[in-house]
Structure 1
């Protein structure tokens, strides 16, 4: 195999690996590229490589996607192979037979591979809305913020972080594993989300503590972590400040006016606590599904006097995104409210694109 062909094959295998372990929609896989490879002399070798990177991957053996997903994936892989009229590959049918007799487990896993070779595995609910919440799945902005953090680990190294609306936990777990924070507080307001969030933190080898202010029981390279229930409508500034966080995070929580208003008010209450002390910074990641909601958020920041700036765009090459056409952005906020807060109009203008159509909001 020529070096350039070998590189193309490795890229293909990596794409299948990342998408399969994250249980992405089958339509997003590079099937046409695979079919071209299958027509060549190394087609069987490529298929065996894909099996090793997917259903026979160590992470799949330990924390598999759903049986239904694996069955659909193997059926599509066999269909594509048969379409090339190549010799049957017994190992493909053996893998499918093994899945056909498997029992569906209580948990469906998604695994996201990190640049370090480590990974984040989550139990996620396959339904977008479940138990009256959207927090049981990982959304695009959480992936986007996690990827930005992994590209900027010094921002979080040896810092204390509070995440608001952690959901399934992807962003925080990626930061804990790849950015060396000293402490990380996961939080959410929905009790079903908190149950799953705690389980995912444990699943990834981290043990939540009840009091991060107490002496550390032992030396470890892992950050100290906690899982907290926070209702943005009732939590006070002093309660938020008690976490003593250097950085506050939120991802994909600007999905309706009510939550947008609640988040802005919670951040304002926290900002009012700092006075002349060094104020923490906040990074809020969102997708422009609804530009009016994004506009509302920055207008609320302007009314509160909280300064912000847009973080430069970064490459989206690490994680397999579902919504590749949705523009995503991160705002950096300085959580200090000036004495004349409320007299300031919303700052600057952010311009995003949604499906190619420019959307502008203040």
Structure 2
């Protein structure tokens, strides 16, 4: 206010001296200052109103709105294993039946490669099921129940209990609403799932169908954060990095790969099953994530050895012919039921690739450890969301580039969720003498995992900044 009085006093002196130009310039400047002040005041008022509105919302509403933002991306229908075989006889009826029951409206939507125990969300193919009736319709329902809950693969890799319970409930509701007879088996399955002690759990197997014969089964927790970590589910950047090599299998065939922050192992296991690297070392630094990673490695080795089909038509035909009114659901198994893994690193061979799973702590990683690694490709995906991890991560990459006998190629996939976080990462790379080169964005990386501009996934190649020549 004192400054304002001085300005007005000066203006009056200009009036007395009849200095019109200076007076007009000063008045214009004062008007701009007041306009900027009004704008800042309005922004602060709007911000306070928004905060007050959020505080007034019930807690459940805020959680629901937050969940809807994340789920909305994935609520599209994609091809599943049954969809791939929809032209092969009875599988086509399962797809038609799922359309009639509107199973695709189930809450857990999946990516094109992802489904639950060989069924997932089936694509809409029109209302062709209208012609099915009587025993024909009953058989189609039994086939669907078999593939969802009772096939050998579904029993070996059961999906999350909450998912199974909501799916069977949705099937029963749609059948009852349509006036069709609900098979006794559906009620029996619903009863078993509703009375289970773990009916509300969100962790279980998620199966990724890579090709008609190659699948990867992961034990995941579908929550965004579980057990104080985000590493118990797969994320978009890891899927984008996987797609980068699925489209270029020759770029990784025969390579010796180290993956940092591998999480549950989708990228590594899928590349081992489809692209034949010479060796692959999957690592993470969180103890619980490492245990889940080892479990997933052992589970997929077991599935590869047994060569269990995702869709077993002969077993399905025998099941439908028996038309049982009840069938026990096998306990869900998994790490929580004694599936503990070995102490130390896990070493094995998967589809001809030497696979190793274990711990690599960026905070304690040393030059000696880097020098003892035999790798020519380093991969990492979706590990830059926390700025506190930037320094140890980048330092680890620098040690690998400096001390591995032959400097490896380094690829980093990240989701650009926050411009400030990404800028801090780029600054840390520069401090450590590294530079990123953008290789792919959703616009130029064709993907089966819904990589679009909204996901903001980018893939960088990380190299050392060459030393400047002496002056």
TM-score (norm 1): 0.73
The aligned counterpart of 1:196 is: 292
Aligned residue for 1:359? none
Q: Does 1:156 align with 2:252?
A: yes
Structure 2 counterpart SS, 1:272: helix
Corresponding residue for 2:420?
A: 292
Which of the residues 26, 41, 45 maps onto 2:131?
A: 41
2:377 to 230, 247, 268: 247
More helix by share: 2
2:187 to 85, 90, 93: 93
Distance 2:256 2:421 in 1: 29
**1:67-216, aligned counterparts within 5 Å?**
67-100=161-194, 104=198, 108-205=204-301
Distance 1:49 1:283 in 2: 44
Residue 294 of structure 1 aligns to a residue whose secondary structure is helix
- Structure 2 residue aligned with 1:257: 387
Matched, 1:232 2:368: no
Unaligned stretches of 5+ residues in structure 1: 342-362
Shift of 1:20: 3.0
Note closer, same or farther for the CA distance 1:20–1:196 as it changes in structure 2 (3 Å cut).
closer
Partner of 1:289: helix, strand, or coil? coil
TM-score (norm 2): 0.58
1:337-362 C-alpha deviation (Å, 9 max, x unpaired): 42249xxxxxxxxxxxxxxxxxxxxx
With over 3 angstroms needed to count, the CA separation of the structure-2 counterparts of 1:41 and 1:235, relative to structure 1, is same
Task: Tell me, in whole angstroms, the C-alpha distance in 2 between the residues paired with 1:291 and 1:91.
Answer: 53
> How much does 1:210 deviate?
7.4
1:164 to 1:208, Cα distance in 2 relative to 1, 3 A: farther
CA contact (8 A) 2:345 2:357 kept: no
Q: Deviations over 1:172-195 (max 9, x none)?
A: 111111111111111111222222
Q: C-alpha displacement at 1:326, in angstroms?
A: 2.2
| Counterpart contact for 1:145–1:251, Cα < 8 Å | yes
Partner of residue 439 from structure 2, selected from 304, 310, 313: 310
Partner in structure 2 of residue 222 of structure 1: 352
Larger-gyration structure (1/2): 2
> Can you list the C-alpha shifts for 1:212-267, whole angstroms capped at 9, x where unaligned?
9xxx99x9842112223222123124422422211111111011211123222221
Figure out how many residues of one structure are paired with residues of the other and give that number: 324
Residue 356 of structure 1 is matched in structure 2 by none
Structure 2: distance between partners of 1:306 and 1:259: 18
CA contact (8 A) 1:19 1:320 kept: no
Query: Structure 1 residues 210 and 246 mapped into 2: Cα distance closer, same or farther (>3 Å)?
Result: farther
Residue 55 of structure 1 aligns to a residue whose secondary structure is: helix
Quote the offset at 1:203 in angstroms: 1.5
Identify which range, 234-243 or 171-180, moves more after superposition: 234-243
Contact map agreement 1:135 1:168 (CA 8 A) in 2: yes
